Chains A and B, each alone.
Chain A
Amino acid sequence: MNLWGWRRWLLIGPPFLWLLVFFLLPLGVVAAISLSQSADTIPPYTPLLIHGPNGLESQASLDNYRLIAQGDLRAYANSLGFAALATVLCLLIGYPIAFAIARAPKAWRNPLLFLVILPFWTSLLIRVYAWIAILQPTGLLNRALAGLGLIDAPLLLIYNNFSVVLGLVYAYLPFMILPLYGSLSQLDESLVEAAADLGARPARVFRDVVLPLSLPGVAAGALLVFIPAIGEFVIPDLLGGPGTLMVGKVLWQEFFDNVDWPAAAAVAMMLVALLTAPLLLAQRLVERKA
């Protein structure tokens, strides 16, 4: 493993370990439930193994997955699309912010980082409700725009795809900024000077030195945004319209409204399968560059 691999693990290693213990184990349980059938029992699903006439018999089946595959896949496509869009927007907005903080005078850096994580001190739910107050037709933004005479009728800013992506970007931006700041602040200033000394204009210094050396941070940030965003429930539920169907919402409906644990588990497992692909892709990208 090369030096950059080692540094990359320093960045994404701790969250990786966390996921292993608190995600992989429960995941096995969910996977098992997804192979059973819903039943009016406690817990509300059939056991995988039963004592039959021929000893232990397996009742596992892929019926839940078959139903999903034959049904409406729009929720998955939506989730992928929204999460990807939110990740790209977080990267575009977060990179300049992380760069500016990493380049700020030393005394400013910690206060600025503090401002980045300050929103976490308030519950996400409350912050999303605050967005409703801002975006709704009689909300702050529309009233302000109308007051300034810029609009005649309220803009449709909420309960649509726009507000969902806005909410996702708003909620997950710090997860992009922090790992980016981590890798940008490690960047040796003399490398930037060496590049300038060798004739690189500021834009080329960024393209040829800063950006390639910050790719581990980009990958870590992208994963930290993309993965939770794809399964996000609160934001599409509160800010989305009737048409914004996301996997998180489907899952919620199966689990709470239909009390169909196995179907919900199968949806969850499909989500995991969806996430594995971009994860491997990101890893491959960083490895090739590093």
Chain B
Amino acid sequence: MPLLEISEISKNFGAVVAVDRVSLAVEHGELFALLGPSGCGKTTLLRLIAGFELPDHGHIAIDGVDMTEVPPYRRPVNMMFQSYALFPHLDVAGNIAFGLRQERMERRRRDARVADMLALVQMSDYARRRPHELSGGQKQRVALARALAKMPKLLLLDEPLAALDRKLREETRLELIGIQERIGTSFVFVTHDQEEALGMASRIAVMERGRVAQIGGVAEIYERPHSRFVAGFVGAVNLFDGVLVAGFNALALSVAGVEAPIPLAATVDLPEGTAVALAVRPEKLRLSPARPDGFAIAATVASINYQGGVSIVHLTITSGHALKAQVASAAAAAFDRGMSVWASWDPADAAVLTR
């Protein structure tokens, strides 16, 4: 039985459909990401799970128990707020103890739990500080400790890293993963940052305009996107729009402005004449000064964007399309702006998108 089961849930705000017939399941011990652009309904979905919003349709069950109408104070989930929402009139220990006081935990056990939580987030020296005396990273730790203090079955995190600066974000991401592994609680977190989702989650639900566009493991979402939206939102991508035609021994994609049809993997099984898009990740593109054997597209180097270990080579092809290739910076040194190159890829590395 999944820990969290959401079935056909919908939520409207007036005429705006925030969440539209979403179904998903989160297993025990999972680190699950709700990923999408702002306004896609991911935060509303999180608030529905927490109980701050009631759905118009559908059901939410946690550990097999229906929670659809249960008020937030009786749900076995806790939430870490994007703003952290620390109580300004209580010190760090008081904030962490808040939930334990509500369930009238006996004092000695409560103090021990607060000490454990402080140790877990490495804030033991700050127990008597007030929230306004803490840095952003410290507040984040206290918010995490407070949300975990009641040992919820499920922890909800609303943009957990958004308020931190870049360097701290990296560190905190690793810490969150470490804490999640140690305590084994399921985490569901909301993010608009695909890097954060890919770097933290075991599975991702990509959301688009209130609906789930695709659910899958991180590699699956990245390597095998189902739609143009998912391919474009999760990572950089080169897209070719075209029509399926018969190829040499498998289907191929005829793209306006590209001379030869682009060969596709043999696994593609769709009728000829279907309009599809082909998605190729920049790091899958191979560049060579000489024409390689087999399929290749002639291109001109428009610019090279150095990014440390790797460089992004921006290309234009005869059709006027712009392509991006990610190559090791050492290899990029072989190219110059204005140079003619050949771009190719393994058909198995490209994803065919029907939507």
Contacts and interface: CB of A to CB of B under 8 A. Distances in A.
A183 to B, nearest CB: 12
Given A197-B78, A197-B79, A198-B146, A213 B73 contact: no
A212 interface: yes
Contacts of A190: 81, 83, 85
A4 B103 contact: no
A243 B89 CA distance: 46
Contact of B99 (A188, A199, A209, A212): A199
Interface in A138-194: 188, 190-191, 193-194
A74 interface: no
A240 to B, nearest CB: 41
A196 B53 CA distance: 13
Contact of A196 (B71, B89, B132): B71
B73 A199 contact: yes
Given A188-B83, A199-B150, A4 B73 contact: no
B78 A4 contact: no
Contact of B103 (A2, A188, A199): A199
Nearest to A198: B99
Contacts of B52: 193, 196-197
Given A199-B102, A290-B89, A193 B78 contact: no
Nearest to A191: B85
Interface string A254-290: 0000000000000000000000000000000000011
User: A-side binding surface: helix, strand, loop or mixed?
Assistant: helix
Nearest to A209: B87
Nearest to A7: B88
Contact of B89 (A198, A201, A289): A289
A3 B89 CA distance: 10
Contacts of B147: 197
Nearest to B52: A193
A250 interface: no
A277 to B, nearest CB: 26
A200 interface: yes
A195 interface: yes
Contact of A193 (B77, B85, B88, B146): B85
Nearest to B132: A3
Nearest to A205: B73
Nearest to A193: B52
Contacts of B50: 193, 197
B72 A197 contact: yes
A186 to B, nearest CB: 11
25 contacts: A3-B132, A4-B88, A188-B85, A190-B81, A190-B83, A191-B85, A193-B81, A194-B86, A196-B52, A196-B71, A197-B51, A197-B52, A197-B72, A197-B147, A198-B78, A198-B98, A198-B102, A199-B99, A199-B103, A200-B102, A201-B73, A201-B102, A208-B98, A208-B101, A290-B89
Given A194-B85, A194-B86, A201-B73, 4 more contacts: A2-B130, A190-B85, A199-B99, A199-B103
